[in-house]
Amino acid sequence: MEEWVGGLWHKYITRKANPEFDDARVNFDQVSKSVSMVFRALGGDVVKRVEAATGREYLTRKSFLQKISGDNQLVSLAWQDEESLRLPESLAVFNEKALNYDLYIWLAVLAAHHSGSFRHWAKDNQALVVAVLEKFPALHNRYRRLAKAFVDMRPSLDQMPAVERTMEQSIRDAILIPGSVNEFPVVNFAPQAVYLWLYPSASSDDVLMADIDEDELSDENEDQDGEKKSAKKAQSSRKKAERVDSDDSRGGMMIFRLESLFSWSEFSKMDRGKDDSDEDEEDYQSTIDDLDKITLTKKQEHQKSGQIKIDLDLPSASEDDIPLGEGIKLPEWNYKTQTLQEDRCLLQPMLPRDATPTKLPVKLQKTARMIQAQFEQLRSVKYWLKAQPQGEELDLNAWLDFHVESKTAATAEKGLFQSYRGNNRDLSCLLLADLSMSTDSHLDNDNRVIDVVQDSLLLFGEALQSVGDNFAMYGFSSVKRSNIRFTMLKNFNEKYNDHVRGRIQAITPGFYTRMGAAIRQATKVISEQKTADKLLLILTDGKPNDIDHYEGRFGIEDTHQAINEAKRLGIKPFCITIDVDAQEYLPYLFGNDGFTQILRPAQLPLRLPQLYHQLTSQ
């Protein structure tokens, strides 16, 4: 009985303490397409993902009801970094859905005109609002409506301490009349969340490292050359250092300044004195660059400890696919420096192990015959060339025109014959299939993605064999930049036969999707063909990714650069994907007419040959 009453009380007091309007709530999923279109149309970075932001702890003064209810609600705010624009998971700031929807659009407009970094949070937001309203005068009415409604929802000034009242009044003035406030007081608590403004990202701007005595950080007998090398690395990215005691206590009060919004950090007792020697030093440096603050302690307890290393296990050499050669070094694009880094990746050509010659599965034979009949039409299409100087038959229309003209005036003899010509398909196609671990996922109770990919490759081979086109098929996956697996299923010099069918049926899900390197190697292979037209088909179920900082924009930009390199060589790249989020990144990679999205993956085996037919029948 006590628990039941307590549960009712908790629901009641939590609902009373919550200042949001649940009936007018608008979720990010409802507006994601609209805000993405607005963000990019008004100049936002086309590569950035637009997604929901996770909640943050936000140190603000609580109301009496919030204290009673024990409310510790995380606040979802709008911010962006180099990778993505994050907007609140949902908005229920206003009591009207239309206003909450307009707020999402307004935040997308602001983000499209802001780099993501702040010198003074409130002043920079004011300047940003002023700049946006000057550039888009039509937004004045929308902003005034949002600003007035937002200020009306703010807590009463009468119940605040004097200093916080001054801060709150300054924020209200800055919202109602952007650019009118130049000074903001320092207070012990952050103001109530300002949903009309953008917030700093989780990665704050670089700050200078605090001075720390050398004898506290290194041994007095350390080699001076080693110190110089360490100092040289530190120059590229300076960090804030924080010295803490090694106990678990936490305390003190944080002073809030608008020019440097605080972020929460927690000290964790971890010995960083020893790292695995087999890891890439560049990866460590990149991890250090991602840290906002480096925390150090003088007090260390020297205890025996076990090391746990978690990584994706690679198969043993006896169980793995068969490597071909020592590997191929390939470059990779670094979008931050806008340079192509030579010999950064190592690609290993491979053959599927335990692949034995196999016939086409019975379940595909009927579909294969239907597709082959369609493709035979491409081979058998023939046409007459008219008015030729020589040919198999007389062109009666040309002869009649010449006869009539010659009766009236002197007329030079034109071509009087017609020639029967066959359809000459002078093209090569390379199909590059994504074999990453995501292809191990199930589509239904019976089929996985990899099963659908295998069926698609088999039917694709049957179709192109029937028309006689020159083609090759490869698969790819990766584990970091030093292990990019390039699986040969059929090269251009092989015939499509039971050996190739066996390799296709022997493929298994791999690892990650380092797409840029695979496209570069596929480009090199197909560029060696002597045909007039070259088509590079890429079959995938997701975006480029890997575990060594190839996530997000790095992978997207490297793949984009690899595709442009292929286009400059006269190769036509085209992507077929079953990824439901493909519209977020494929238009940037391939262009609006350079890809197709198959929403029902089970249809891929039939759709792939049809797409090839459409792309090459012209």
Q: What is the DSSP string of 191-232?
A: PSP-TTS----SSPPP-PPPP--HHHHS-TT--HHHHHHHHH
Range among 55-64, 300-309, 391-400 rated most confident: 391-400
pTM: 0.64
Go through 123-156 and write b for each residue having 16 or more CB atoms within 10 A of its CB, e for each that does not.
Answer: bbbbebbeebbeeeeebeebbeebbebbeeeeee
Strand partners, 387: none
Tell whether the model's pLDDT for residue 196 goes beyond 80: yes
pLDDT in tens, 426-472: 899 999 999 999 998 888 777 899 999 999 999 999 999 988 889 99
Tell whether the model's pLDDT for residue 508 goes beyond 80: yes
Percentage of the residues of the chain whose pLDDT score is greater than 70: 72
Measure the CA–CA gap between 305 and 290, rounded to whole angstroms. Answer: 27
Count Cα neighbours of 212 within 13 Å in the Cβ-side half-sphere: 18
- Looking at residue 468, the DSSP 8-state letter turns out to be T
Q: pLDDT grade, residue 249 (50/70/90)?
A: very low
Q: Does the domain made of 352-374+426-477+486-616 have the CATH classification 3.40.50.410?
A: yes
Q: Which residue has the tokens 């659908």?
A: 452
Percentage of the residues of the chain whose pLDDT score is greater than 90: 38
Tell whether the model's pLDDT for residue 274 goes beyond 70: no
- Looking at residue 60, the DSSP 8-state letter turns out to be B
**CB-based contact 201:81 (threshold 8 Å):** yes
Query: Per mean pLDDT, which range of 53-57, 127-131, 237-241 is the poorest?
Result: 237-241
The structural domains of the chain, with segments of one domain joined by +, span: 2-176, 352-374+426-477+486-616, 382-422
Measure the CA–CA gap between 107 and 32, rounded to whole angstroms. Answer: 12
The arithmetic mean of pLDDT across residues 117-138, rounded, is: 90
Tell whether the model's pLDDT for residue 261 goes beyond 60: no
Q: What pLDDT, on the 0 to 100 scale, is given for residue 571?
A: 96
Q: What pLDDT, on the 0 to 100 scale, is given for residue 563?
A: 96
Mean pLDDT for all residues in the chain: 78
Tell whether the model's pLDDT for residue 373 goes beyond 90: no
Q: What pLDDT, on the 0 to 100 scale, is given for residue 222?
A: 45
Tell whether the model's pLDDT for residue 534 goes beyond 60: yes
- Cα dihedral angle (371, 375, 376, 381), rounded to 10 degrees? 150
**End-to-end distance of the chain based on CA atoms, in angstroms?**
77
Long-range contacts of residues 251-255, Cβ cutoff 8 Å, at least 24 apart: 253/188, 254/59, 254/188, 255/186, 255/187, 255/188
Q: pLDDT grade, residue 498 (50/70/90)?
A: very high
Which H or E element spans position 344?
strand 339-351
Residue (of 577, 599, 607) closest to 589 by Cα position: 577
State the Cα angle at 476 between 552 and 351, rounded to 5°.
160
The arithmetic mean of pLDDT across residues 567-594, rounded, is: 92
Q: What pLDDT, on the 0 to 100 scale, is given for residue 458?
A: 95
pLDDT in tens, 325-365: 899 999 999 988 899 999 999 999 999 988 999 999 999 99
Measure the CA–CA gap between 347 and 182, rounded to whole angstroms. Answer: 57
Range among 255-259, 419-423, 578-582 rated most confident: 578-582
Rg (CA), the chain: 33
Q: What pLDDT, on the 0 to 100 scale, is given for residue 277?
A: 41
**212/90: higher pLDDT:** 90
Which H or E element spans position 594?
none
Q: Where are the alpha helices (DSSP H) in 309-417?
A: 362-380, 396-408
Count Cα neighbours of 58 within 13 Å in the Cβ-side half-sphere: 20
Q: Which residue has the tokens 């496209």?
A: 519
Tell whether the model's pLDDT for residue 511 goes beyond 70: yes
Q: What pLDDT, on the 0 to 100 scale, is given for residue 294?
A: 53
Residues 6+ apart with CB under 8 A from 575: 537, 538, 539, 540, 586, 589, 590, 594, 595, 596
Q: Which residue has the tokens 């294969």?
A: 368
Tell whether the model's pLDDT for residue 292 goes beyond 90: no
The arithmetic mean of pLDDT across residues 185-189, rounded, is: 71
Q: pLDDT grade, residue 504 (50/70/90)?
A: very high
Q: What pLDDT, on the 0 to 100 scale, is given for residue 276?
A: 44
The helix/strand/coil state of 273 is: coil
Q: In the 3-class helix/strand/coil scheme, how is 155-171 assigned residue by residue?
A: CCHHHCCHHHHHHHHHH
- Token digits of residue 378: 């491409």
Q: What pLDDT, on the 0 to 100 scale, is given for residue 307?
A: 47
Tell whether the model's pLDDT for residue 305 goes beyond 80: no
Q: What pLDDT, on the 0 to 100 scale, is given for residue 414?
A: 74
Tell whether the model's pLDDT for residue 231 goes beyond 50: no
Q: What pLDDT, on the 0 to 100 scale, is given for residue 83?
A: 80
Q: pLDDT grade, residue 223 (50/70/90)?
A: very low
Query: With left for phi above 0 and alpha for psi between -120 and 50, is residue 570 left, alpha or beta?
Result: left
Strand partners, 512: 478
Q: Which residue has the tokens 């209810």?
A: 69
Q: pLDDT grade, residue 583 (50/70/90)?
A: confident
What is the separation of C-alpha 511 from the centre of its chain, rounded to a whole number of angstroms? Answer: 17
Q: What pLDDT, on the 0 to 100 scale, is given for residue 410?
A: 76
The arithmetic mean of pLDDT across residues 30-34, rounded, is: 90
Tell whether the model's pLDDT for residue 129 goes beyond 80: yes
With residues binned 3-state (H G I as helix, E B as strand, rest as coil), the percentages for the chain, rounded to 5, are: 40, 20, 40
- Token digits of residue 204: 């704050």
The arithmetic mean of pLDDT across residues 120-144, rounded, is: 91
